[in-house]
Amino acid sequence: MYRTTCRACGGKKFVKFLDLSPQPLAGGFLLPEKEAIKQEKLFPLPIHICQNCGLVQTLFVVPAKTLFVDYCFSSSTVPGLVTHFGDYAKWLKKKFKPEFVVEFGSNDGVLMEPLEKMGVKTCGVDISRNITKMAKEKGLNSIQGFFDEEMAEKIRKQDGRADIVTGSNAFPHNDHPEIILKAAKKVLKKDGHLCLEVMYLGDLLELLQWDFLYHEHLNYFCVTTLEIMLNRYGFHIVDVERLPMHAGSIRVVAAVDPKEKVKPSVKALLKYEKEIKITEIETWQEFGQKVQRAIEVTAKVMKSLSKNSRIWGYGASGRATMWVNACKMTYLEKIVDASPLRSGRLMPGTHTPIVFPEELKKNPPDYIFVTAWNYFESIKAKEPWFKGIWVAPAPELRFL
């Protein structure tokens, strides 16, 4: 299904600057069964920019239920993310001294856990059935469902109004972000704050991170476009900082109280975005051309290597799905991943088997193509025994 209006400004005119169609779902890791393979679908994946406000977005929408109900990404299996959320919990506590925090897209409770340990009451909402179960098993107050006004009302009746509503990486996943913003407004105190962590479009542009442009994500924010969207629903951005998470993210604080002062950090990032022309169409058309070239080069080089060498992949993330499918890497023997939610499954599209890191040692290949290139250094450090050649496809193709 294609949507026809911009999610930030409601505008109706778009320019397509990249087309990665057709693509399987980046997170659609398959069970190794004939039936699952037969049922796999490919979807269009054109990427657009709004001519009016400059929001970069995916207009083709796959129903959220298809995407997230059986979700293969539990945050606590990624070591870097556990540290990140521990730090985020401390940051929230220090800055706002909240009594009650509501989190949407709360996953397996990776943020709720450290908050609770510091004595902050939490409530998490997540659409995924299997992941919510994991949070509940840890004794966390996690509800399966959508964070909408009805849910906000339920939480308000049960636990009172919140000081903070937060979402890390879940916000860009929504075809209707206004539903979340209305819900947040409903459950927040008058002096409450909405804290969002989203992948930052500035880093996506600078590092040519086209492998983050997929069906699950839908919206790719910078401060300029996020402010336009938030303003429409009664919030304004008062603080922002850049984070290393997911190869570049921002943490945005938006206030309900219209009188709350805006920190210099917001103006500084807005100025930077103007300088790099982040909302201009030409910028993204150029980006699209660069991406096409990068895909062509990587596809050609790896294909020729595959004729005389054995190649494995490392890191079965959504980015991996993008690389192996865009570059048609059907020759990869295996993809290594430590997550029990993904190992044992098959890569979307290419159906490459995903295996635990132990398998790598048993049968080392000549090359390891690090699909999770944003964790390149930590992956390399985990396998110091490997004598073959490491390949990082981004920010530019490198052999080590």
Positions touching Zn ion (CB under 5 A) are 6, 8-9, 11, 50, 52-53, 55
Peptide bond into 22 cis (omega under 30): yes
Q: Which is nearer to Zn ion, 115 or 228 (CB)?
A: 228
What's at 340, amino acid-wise?
A: P
Residues 29/347, Cβ–Cβ less than 8 Å:
yes
> Pick from 315, 328, 300: which is nearest to 397 by CA?
300
Q: Shortest gap between Cβ of 241 and Zn ion (angstroms)?
A: 25
* Least distance between Zn ion and beta carbon 3 (Å): 12
Which is closer to Zn ion, CB of 146 or CB of 221?
221
Supply the minimum distance, in Å, between the C-beta of residue 219 and Zn ion: 10
Identify whether the C-beta of residue 52 lies closer than 8 Å to the C-beta of residue 9: yes
Task: Between 11 and 46, name the residue whose CB sits nearer to Zn ion.
Answer: 11
Q: Compare residues 50 and 322 and give the one whose CB is closer to Zn ion.
A: 50
- Closest separation between CB of residue 54 and Zn ion, Å? 7
Nearer to Zn ion, 26 or 198 (CB): 198
Distance of closest approach, residue 343 Cβ to Zn ion, in angstroms: 40
What DSSP state is assigned to residue 375?
Answer: G
Q: Which is nearer to Zn ion, 10 or 344 (CB)?
A: 10
The CA-CA-CA angle for residues 336, 80, 170, to 5°, reads 95
Strand runs (DSSP E) across the chain, as ranges? 14-19, 46-50, 56-58, 100-104, 121-126, 142-144, 162-168, 188-199, 219-220, 236-243, 249-255, 311-314, 335-336, 354-355, 367-370, 389-392, 398-399
Quote the CA–CA distance of 130 and 126 in Å, as a whole number: 10
CA nearest 319: which of 365, 273, 358, 376?
Answer: 376
CA-wise closest residue to 393 among 306, 319, 309, 318:
319
Least distance in angstroms from the C-beta of 169 to Zn ion = 21
Q: Minimal distance in Å, beta carbon 57 to Zn ion?
A: 8
End-to-end CA distance of the chain: 43
Nearer to Zn ion, 8 or 391 (CB): 8
